[in-house]
Structure 1
């Protein structure tokens, strides 16, 4: 189960070395030591472009320009051609279990000109574990699968959940599907999030 990644850094060489070369090393080790193993790799839903006509789907052509998603796409391609039994789980914004990710979101947003009505797909740590358990049964073998909860939430609301404010706007929103992924394939394959929305997590004390 390959969960390792580097992304919260400006060091793009480190990102590529960790995310692509690190994956290549793990694949080589698996082929040498356990060629019959099931190789499950965590990737990112942020491989989708800004201007897509629908929520990001697994079948979409992707060509991300930022180092983190680009390195993950490159690693996915290496794994798909490895000859191993594989699956790729693309996770959106992950939060919960006291990790501070949601609380840190306002500071991250200040660096980008996001519209407050932009919806972002999310997934709680509990459901990361559920998706991995399902992948390890072979349900996702040979597939890239988006894993997300049941409701992409606006950035404005996410920021409000942690007691902060974001500049409001009623201007038209460009790129309305950016950061929003289609999780229907995972549902067809049996994945069901136990924490269905960020609001449910907040109200249930699962932060």
Structure 2
């Protein structure tokens, strides 16, 4: 049984991923700031990415790291940079010191791609995000690539499913960010985030950045409708039609196939 460190285990993605990693047979260490209930097979290790002196116990001797911890929906840009860049730097330093042979899988975001792109974002596109969250993730990706560790990056789309509340938040997000109802996003179900992480842990993605997305992007209008809170449509022209869209053909070429091909399949199965 291999020992794996998971950060961000209490977040939207991590709380769904952790039980699956345990079920796969991993001995999971979970980095937490305070004691809290975890699934059987997971062990809490107290530590904080803000404090490098606390990370030895979490990282020592692990075979793999899945780094999900991130900060994004806040107006405190300095906090975003501390969490996403400095926190990643501290974790990389600890892994380099205490588990240099570990495979390091980091979650990033499809928001790194430029909003005015002329097609779905591809992994080798030059990215120049201006918002703190995607900019900090691009910088963290660069730290990982230069770390000397065995690494891979999964750029995640809009993740949903299993009653996580993310889909239900779409009407509020649409209002807050002024999203056009026809704006279309790449999406993925939690089951497929887990499948992509499993693939990365085999080494199939070593040294690569890979986009994750299901078979069919979906509009803001349809997401709100599926969430049970319809929003008004619009016939106004859509600016930046490719923003939020990712090309996932690289990941597919490496063996990934979505278990939940579309959000409509998730609705039919009752797993939204």
Asked whether the two chains share a fold, i.e. TM above 0.5, the reply is: yes
Paired position in structure 2 for 1:84: 149
Does the 8 Å contact 2:123/2:210 carry over to 1? yes
Given the alignment, which residue of 109, 129, 144 partners 2:194? 129
Distance 2:163 2:230 in 1: 21
Given the alignment, which residue of 6, 13, 23 partners 2:88? 23
Alignment pair present for 1:104 and 2:104: no
Paired position in structure 1 for 2:271: 206
Pick the structure with greater CA Rg.
2
Displacement of 1:163 after TM fit? 1.7
TM-score by length of structure 1 reads: 0.97
Given the alignment, which residue of 105, 116, 119 partners 1:54? 119
Number of matched pairs = 207
Larger RCO, structures 1/2 (Cα 8 Å, 6+ apart): 1
Given the alignment, which residue of 116, 129, 132 partners 1:67? 132
Q: CA RMSD of the aligned region, Å?
A: 0.9
Paired position in structure 1 for 2:229: 164
Displacement of 1:96 after TM fit? 1.0
Query: Deviations along 1:107-152, whole A, 9 cap, x unmatched?
Result: 0110122221111011111111110010000000000000111100
TM-score by length of structure 2 reads: 0.75
Distance 1:143 1:163 in 2: 38
Given the alignment, which residue of 34, 37, 44 partners 2:109? 44
Paired position in structure 1 for 2:219: 154
Alignment pair present for 1:32 and 2:93: no
SS at match of 1:177: coil
SS at match of 2:125: coil
Gapped runs of 5+ residues in structure 2?
A: 1-65
Gapped runs of 5+ residues in structure 1?
A: none
Q: Identify the structure with the greater strand proportion.
A: 2
Paired position in structure 1 for 2:254: 189
Distance 2:162 2:82 in 1: 29
